[in-house]
């Protein structure tokens, strides 16, 4: 448990001035000015789509005007386009405890999970079970349905789902399990697995461990190497601020590189793509997880955001993240008790990511009213309001202001107005 400050360790004494003094002492505070946040907005949805780094516009425009417009086809060599997915991957490696040559960018996270999960399952051909979590972000389960069929063939692999209510991982692990796919930080509740401990347990049964780091990278410490994990995928448009739909990344432990056979075999993963041979031959190393031509403009925006991440102390991120989530939870406890708001996220910091979910029966309407007032979080069915705390641009004063507005929305019951009623919403 990280205490807010000595002065603030009793949540009853916190006020906005306390928050401002926490901001004044915050070593990450200067990063906020690197982002173009709209006036009057408290943005607590960076866990869904990260904010725009100010210099991304100029960087992207230069890539468009110079590398594409002037360099044209020559930029595949001259601007290093072909090598980009691995060069950018190397910059992400530090953020997840991986080494150079171990990370490569892919298409969407769904497509990349298909790559690593098929590669993982094919390493255990004699085993017939994939384990996943019922509460995973659903695309992971949807993709795994395809993996079960792709790898299993006429006899699709069996799926076993674990759940907070049981069965547990211990209940389902046995020698039939080929692969376990878990999300490090739960997309709804923010509950965080012990990455090293779970990896050890899974590998002890001979299974392969695949981590989904979508809600971890840039938010919490991840050390794949010291955990000895097998494979991972993650998303770059959340905490990493790569822009809407920026490319996912894939990681494979070096010990698996040469045996790995991911299911999508496009020419960018070929050993000699410009020999134009008829037969597929995977390139040595992580490059074999590549598929086709990468979407270079989306990748360029990600590169710009990594300029910021190159400067960031990850321990400071975790420390501030815990302070922000703890502050939010404390203020919710103190000020919102009257309105049936339940903190769903673990209060124990060791198992908490960088977001807090509040359960409220009418969470959808409350969130719409909040957004109208400039406090942007999101809603996850059936009844969760999610608030993401991104240490690079969310301040302690933001947390105070968000709870202020939330209290007012609940007390005034403005959320009962018909315009906030639920309809087919996207986010």
Footprint of a copy of itself on 243-262 (CB under 8 A):
243-248
Binding string, residues 144-163; x marks residues near a copy of itself by CB under 8 A:
-xx--xx-xxxx-----x--
Q: Residues 185, 212: contact at Cβ < 8 Å?
A: no
Shortest distance, position 200 Cβ to a copy of itself, whole Å: 28
Active site residue 223: no
Shortest distance, position 329 Cβ to a copy of itself, whole Å: 22
Footprint of a copy of itself on 9-38 (CB under 8 A):
36, 38
Contacts of 189 (CB under 8 A, 6+ apart): 135, 344, 345, 346, 357, 384
Footprint of a copy of itself on 114-133 (CB under 8 A):
114
- H or E segment and range at residue 384: strand 384-388
Active site residue 231: no
Residue 100 binds to a copy of itself (criterion: CB under 8 A): no
Binding string, residues 355-394; x marks residues near a copy of itself by CB under 8 A:
----------------x----x-x-xx-------------
Q: Residues 46, 388: contact at Cβ < 8 Å?
A: yes
Tell me whether residue 215 is annotated as binding.
Answer: yes
Written as one string, the DSSP assignment of 327-353 is HHHHHHHHHSGGGT-EE-S-SSGGGB-
Q: How far apart are CA 336 and CA 333, in angstroms?
A: 6
Residue 52 binds to a copy of itself (criterion: CB under 8 A): yes
Window of 20-28, 204-212, 291-299, 334-342 that interacts with a copy of itself by CB under 8 A:
291-299
Q: How far apart are CA 67 and CA 297, in angstroms?
A: 10
Active site residue 237: yes
Tell me whether residue 267 is annotated as binding.
Answer: yes
Residue 397 binds to a copy of itself (criterion: CB under 8 A): no
Q: How far apart are CA 337 and CA 329, in angstroms?
A: 11
Q: What is the dihedral of CA 92, 326, 393, 336, to 10 degrees?
A: 130
Active site residue 275: no
Q: Which residue in 1, 278, 337, 338 binds a copy of itself (CB under 8 A)?
A: 278
Residue 109 binds to a copy of itself (criterion: CB under 8 A): yes
Q: Which residue in 31, 43, 231, 309 binds a copy of itself (CB under 8 A)?
A: 43
Active site residue 386: yes
* From 238, 288, 290, 380, active-site residue: 238
Per DSSP bridges, beta strands 103-105 and 249-252 are antiparallel
Number of C-beta neighbours around residue 223 at 10 A? 14
Window of 272-280, 309-317, 336-344, 353-361 that interacts with a copy of itself by CB under 8 A:
272-280
Q: What angle do CA 385, 237, 383 make, to 5 degrees?
A: 15
Q: Which residue in 13, 226, 259, 295 binds a copy of itself (CB under 8 A)?
A: 295
Contacts of 132 (CB under 8 A, 6+ apart): 140, 141, 144, 159, 160, 161, 162, 180, 181, 182
Binding-site residue numbers for pyridoxal 5'-phosphate are: 109-110, 137-140, 183, 212, 215, 237, 267, 293
Catalytic (active-site) positions = 137, 212, 237-238, 386
């Amino acid at each position: 448990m990280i205490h807010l400050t000595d002065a603030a360790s009793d949540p009853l004494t916190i006020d906005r001035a306390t928050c401002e003094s926490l901001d004044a002492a915050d070593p990450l505070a200067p990063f906020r000015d690197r982002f173009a946040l709209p006036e009057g907005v408290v943005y607590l949805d960076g866990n869904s789509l990260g904010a725009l780094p100010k210099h991304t516009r100029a960087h992207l425009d230069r890539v468009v005007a110079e590398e594409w417009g002037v360099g044209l086809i020559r930029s595949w060599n001259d601007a290093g386009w072909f090598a980009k997915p691995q060069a950018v991957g190397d910059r992400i490696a530090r953020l997840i405890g991986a080494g150079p040559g171990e990370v490569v960018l892919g298409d969407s996270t769904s497509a990349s999970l298909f790559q690593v999960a098929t590669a993982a399952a094919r390493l255990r051909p004699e085993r017939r079970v994939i384990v996943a979590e019922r509460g995973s972000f659903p695309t992971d389960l949807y993709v795994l349905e395809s993996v079960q069929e792709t790898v299993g063939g006429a006899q699709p692999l069996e799926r076993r789902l674990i759940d907070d209510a049981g069965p547990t991982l211990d209940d389902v692990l046995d020698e039939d399990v080929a692969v376990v796919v878990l999300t490090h930080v739960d997309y709804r509740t923010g509950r965080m697995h012990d990455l090293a401990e779970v990896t050890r347990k899974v590998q002890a049964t001979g299974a392969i461990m695949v981590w989904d780091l979508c809600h971890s990278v840039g938010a919490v410490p991840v050390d794949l190497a010291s955990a000895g994990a097998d494979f991972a995928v993650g998303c770059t448009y959340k905490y990493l601020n790569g822009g809407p739909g920026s490319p996912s990344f894939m990681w494979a432990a070096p010990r698996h590189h040469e045996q790995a056979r991911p299911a999508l075999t496009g020419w960018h993963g070929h050993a000699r793509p410009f020999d134009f041979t008829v037969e597929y031959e995977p390139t040595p190393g992580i490059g074999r997880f590549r598929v086709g031509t990468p979407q270079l403009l989306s990748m360029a925006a990600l590169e710009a955001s990594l300029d910021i991440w190159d400067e960031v102390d990850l321990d400071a991120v975790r420390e501030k993240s815990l302070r922000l989530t703890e502050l939010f939870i404390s203020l919710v406890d103190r000020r919102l008790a009257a309105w049936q708001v339940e903190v769903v996220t673990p209060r124990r910091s060791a198992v908490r990511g960088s977001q807090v979910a509040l359960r409220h029966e009418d969470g959808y309407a409350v969130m719409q009213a909040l957004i109208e007032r400039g406090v942007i979080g999101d809603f996850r069915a059936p009844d969760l309001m999610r608030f993401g705390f991104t240490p690079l641009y969310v301040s302690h004063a933001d947390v105070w202001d968000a709870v202020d507005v939330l209290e007012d929305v609940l007390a005034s019951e403005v959320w009962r107005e018909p315009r906030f009623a639920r309809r087919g919403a996207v986010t």
